[in-house]
Homo-oligomer: A and B are copies of this chain.
Amino acid sequence: MTHSSTSEQHVDLIVIGAGSGNSLIGPEFHDKTVALLDDGRWFGGTCLNAGCIPTKMFVHVADVAAHAADAPRIGLSFTRDPVDWLAIRDRVFAKTDKISRAGFRYRDEKSPNVTVFRETFRFDGPRTLVSASGVRLSGEQIVIAAGSRPRPLEVPHDGDDPALHTSDSIMRIDALPASLTILGGGAVAVEFAHVFSALGVRVTLVARSERLLTELDHEISERFTALASEHWSLRLGAHLGGVARDGAELVVSLDGGEELRSELVLVAQGRIPNADRLGAASAGYDLEADGRLAVDHHQRALSGGEPVAGVYGLGDVSSMWELKHVANHEARIVEHNLAHPHELIGGHPGPVPSAIFSRPQIAHFGLTEEQARRSHPDAVVVVQEYRTTAYGWALEDVTSICKLVVDRETALLLGAHIVGPEASILIQPLIQAASQGLSIRGLARGQYWPHPAASEVVENALLKAEEEL
């Protein structure tokens, strides 16, 4: 049900955030009173409404366009008909909005023990929250799953300019711009650069760093940056002066004098955990230096360095990962720990992989080569190129690689880094092996790899690493 009047209420469980937080309100809570706090903007959280899911639906469209554009390499050519942006946009959001509405309806109509509050709340004490309209809630247990938001631009600009976007708004625009300047060099920046450039938008990407995706393995970042420069105009090592309107254009000024003019600007400079908006610190909860809610191994919120019984954090508000698969895992941990306060669980099931759906894809987990050189000086590092496989020949690929970092003593995978088509799927057998603590000795030859599938690049990388052990 949805809460509709001013009141004061005490419940068994308050869940702040209707993304991964919503998913943990399982049948085991049917005899508990639950308050589900959603800020009223979109039900279901960032991933569903403005993150992974809609972006990847756009990315797939961009992939098809990019494959067609790249097809002369393999002897085909296509002329793309004018892009019907509204058809693409409305298809994506018809799907996600429907799921969002269904999720809300389920809680509103079919979950008698759950009351949905659709406005913003702030802590007014360790276990009390107050809304803008004056609703006051206290809970025996609290789950803080309030997510994160795009970091606002920190140089002079007009925050109300409708052409200045974040990932929250850029996918819902009414028409494709002729040009787009993207401020940022991380995953969000390069995914949107792919989406819009593949659909014909002239994209300029401005990053402070000298490479894109600098948090990745250096070689992967370097290869990706080189490929990116073929499709997008890059301004690397750039320092922003400000963003200002000039007629129909926004002007991005860079230190040094260059001015970049475009119809739209996307600010993609990272995300901020929403712990501040909740007033978590003033309620006594610890924050990390970057503003995240501090939690322990069992996802318990900390206060003065000590876990607070019955109060948990999960997902972007408290996680260093900002990944939906991690948030979902943490939600399962919290779901368990809420019900079993004396048998707390925690931790990851294995290394945390991350996939970036750009042009090309990237997937990786664990140590980069540089990190391994410090912590495991004799680690085995191998690079296997797609072009050593039949699938690489089929693609006419000369840029994609699978890189493995392996501990010489244990033969365990310390890291895996793939840049190239289908990286996000190709990495799974490596994740599986690493999660199970399997030595790579015999791993390639201990199973068949269907010939000539793309996975042969992983097989060959494993064989090469084994040889060098």
Contact = CB atoms under 8 A, between A and B. Distances in A.
B454 A47 contact: no
A71 B354 CA distance: 28
Interface in A82-129: 83-84, 87-88, 91, 95
A79 B71 CA distance: 13
A350 B74 contact: no
A14 interface: no
Contact of A348 (B65, B329, B438, B448): B448
A53 B432 contact: no
A71 B451 CA distance: 28
A355 interface: yes
A150 to B, nearest CB: 19
A64 B71 contact: yes
A331 B394 CA distance: 25
A436 interface: yes
A431 interface: yes
Interface in A222-262: none
Contacts of A329: 448
Given A432-B433, A446-B349, A446-B350, A452 B76 contact: no
Contacts of A59: 394
A75 B84 contact: yes
Contacts of A78: 68, 78-81
B61 A76 contact: yes
B429 A432 contact: yes
Contact of A60 (B81, B328, B395): B395
A30 interface: no
Contact of A446 (B435, B448, B450): B435
A281 interface: no
Nearest to A325: B451
A450 B357 CA distance: 11
A198 B276 CA distance: 55
A282 interface: no
A424 B390 CA distance: 14
Interface in A258-278: none
Interface residues of A, number: 76
Contact of A429 (B47, B429, B453): B429
A155 interface: no
B326 A448 contact: yes
Contacts of A394: 56-57, 59-60
Contacts of A432: 429, 432-433, 443, 447
Contacts of A395: 60
A67 to B, nearest CB: 5
Given A76-B88, A95-B393, A450 B435 contact: no
A422 interface: yes
Contacts of A95: 393
Contact of A450 (B77, B424, B449): B424
Given A349-B448, A422-B425, A76 B80 contact: yes
Contacts of A76: 61, 64-65, 80-81, 83-84, 88
A205 to B, nearest CB: 23
Interface in A420-469: 422, 424-429, 431-433, 435-436, 438, 443, 445-455, 458
13 contacts: A47-B451, A57-B390, A76-B80, A78-B78, A78-B80, A324-B452, A332-B445, A349-B448, A353-B450, A363-B450, A428-B453, A431-B449, A435-B446
Given A60-B395, A325-B448, A329-B448, 20 more contacts: A53-B390, A56-B391, A57-B394, A61-B74, A64-B74, A68-B68, A75-B87, A75-B91, A76-B88, A77-B81, A325-B451, A326-B448, A332-B445, A352-B448, A355-B453, A363-B450, A422-B422, A425-B426, A428-B429, A435-B447
